[in-house]
Structure 1
Amino acid sequence: MTLRRLFLTALGCSLSACATVDIPSRNAPFETLPENYGAVAQGYQPIEGADLNLQPQSITPVIAVDALGGAEYSDPARRPLGSVAGSDMTITKVNVRVPLTLKVSEANRYIPQGDIVWREDPLGNRHMQVQEIVKNALEAGVRPLSGPVQAELDVEVLRFHALTQKARYTTGGVHSIAFTMVLRDAQTGEALTEVREVEADLTAYGGRRALVAIAEGQTQKVRITGFLAKVIQQEILSPGSRTPRRGGLIQALNKL
């Protein structure tokens, strides 16, 4: 018995000596790390003295342009000559010139020779009278325009033929009026349109029809003023769309 017990004891000790004993890792000492551990990879080293600033140093403004691709088109007043639509305009001033070189006729004939024939105002400075009539008419015509472009209308009268007394009370005829016009930028004075000539001819009443018109307040001045207002508005909004009045011999002679 004693020998058997001793043998078993010796065998158990030898087996236990071969077993691996695990040591809890929390009690293990820190592992020594390599010297290059945590170093920045090549090419990513910070630059000494560099001031990292992610804010933009300057801002370049962006100018909006339209489909035509030019910066000048963003401002209607800077568009090429004739490209500003009449509906884009507000007429701030109307300038009317009646050159003193225009000849005035006071002859009481059916078709007097001259550039200015006007009898409905008292005898006086016909150039000034015509200037006032045309200016009032054009101002009335452009008043409804309300676009973003501030413009001035320059007009020079070439011909202003109303009726003489003789034609007014007999045959009637034609109010034959012609002028040049151009629209200019109100600030710079630069032309926004081409200079063009406009003919504005209106049937002039005579005889009984003239007397009825006078009784109704439709004097020559009233009719001419209303007609010129319509003409200038159409010429601005739709240049060249107005069909000139076609007349006969009297109209042709009136333009001589």
Structure 2
Amino acid sequence: MFSGGILAMDEHATKFVAYDPTGHELWTAPAKSSAGDACTPAVLNGTPYGLCTPADDPTKGGVSLLHLNPADGTSKEIAQLPTGAEPLGVTDERLVFAVPKLAAGSFGSGEDQPYTTLEEVDPADGGRRIPLPGAARGTPTLFKGVIHFVRPNGTVTAVRASDGKQLWQRATEIENLSAPVLSTKSDTLYFANRFGRLLAVNARTGTVRRRTSALQNPGDSTDDTVPYTLLVKDTLVAVAGDTAFSVRTDRPVLPR
């Protein structure tokens, strides 16, 4: 969702389409760029964008970044990004993208993807490229200027977006963690794994604050379902396997 609507693609993947919250179509914009017309929608800091690559071979030609005017969908190409660049969010009014190290002929990211650089884009003055440390590996999530890379083995690495400096790394020993959510009230990162184990980590130091045991019966789809977490005020909502559950962050007692 962006400020004022929902961004999607049409059924033929040839247009960006914006809808208001009731489902009424607001505008459409052609899905094409100098790099190609294989496009995907993205929303960063409440603003709609498009990421476009060559349709015949997405591993060549890089990625065109399109800014879509929220009011009428007017499209403007504002940057060229390296192949595989993934949008993470905004920090200091710059759009932040993580650039993976891709094997020859590959495209996209995996659960244990290594990343080499950050691309920061400012429509007003261009952008800059920031090298990442070798430990930048896994699934990245950006919170308050810090990127958290989560590996399948449970290792979490925090990297500062402004200069690529590694702030901390923690081997949590809890495998298959979800992407984190951040409580700004307690400065804590929360995770869930596919069996419903919960993990709370100090966002500044990486120190483990608490962890729980697994759910007694998370269901039959733990191998096929990606765990998910959502923070609603002081309540952590998580999905593991076939089960959705919620706990208070100050008393993380799991349901029986």
TM-score interval (norm. to shorter): under 0.3
Structure index of larger Rg: 1
Higher relative contact order (CA 8 A, sep 6+): 1
* Structure ranking higher in strand proportion: 2
